[in-house]
């Protein structure tokens, strides 16, 4: 039973912060608008760093670390919603600082 529980915790730690990043990007950053023609353009607006959105990966990793930390030290709190929120907020902060750096 312990292995099954650890597997479920691993799945939760990966997907909860990922959904936070995806939801923040789709609803807040992009405001539900996607340029379908630009998706295939490697150098376009969705190209990022060789196709990898580094800010999203950093926010996702922070959310995963937060999930495991909360699960370890505050197990009665529940780690899903805090890690989802932390992944979303972390992504928004990283994207806004990147935009500010590019603007100046």
Q: Taking the domains of the chain in order of start, what are their residue ranges?
A: 35-104
Output 5 or 38, whichever has higher pLDDT: 5
- pLDDT over threshold 70, residue 102: no
Q: What backbone phi and psi angles, to 5 degrees, belong to 59?
A: -65, -40
Output 22 or 40, whichever has higher pLDDT: 22
Q: What is the three-state SS of 44-99?
A: CCCCCECCECHHHHHHHHHHHHHHHHHHHHCCCCCCHHHHHHHHHHHHHHHHHHHH
Residue 7 tokens read as 């597997």
Angle at 17 between CA 85 and CA 93, to 5 degrees: 55
- Cα–Cα distance, 3 to 45 (Å, whole number): 42
* Lookup result for tokens 């959105």: 53
- What digits encode the pLDDT tens for the residues 26-84? 999 989 988 887 777 777 777 677 778 899 999 999 999 999 999 999 989 999 999 99
Q: What's residue 104's pLDDT?
A: 67
């Amino acid at each position: 039973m312990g292995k099954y529980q650890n597997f479920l915790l691993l799945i939760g730690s990966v997907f909860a912060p990922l959904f936070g990043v995806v939801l923040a990007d789709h609803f807040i950053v992009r405001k539900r608008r996607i340029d379908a023609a630009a998706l295939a353009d490697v150098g376009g607006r969705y190209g990022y760093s060789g196709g990898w959105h580094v800010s999203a990966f950093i926010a996702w990793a922070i959310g995963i670390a937060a999930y495991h930390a909360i699960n370890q030290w505050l197990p009665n709190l529940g780690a899903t919603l805090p890690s989802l929120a932390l992944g979303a907020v972390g992504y928004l902060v990283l994207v806004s600082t990147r935009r500010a750096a590019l603007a100046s």
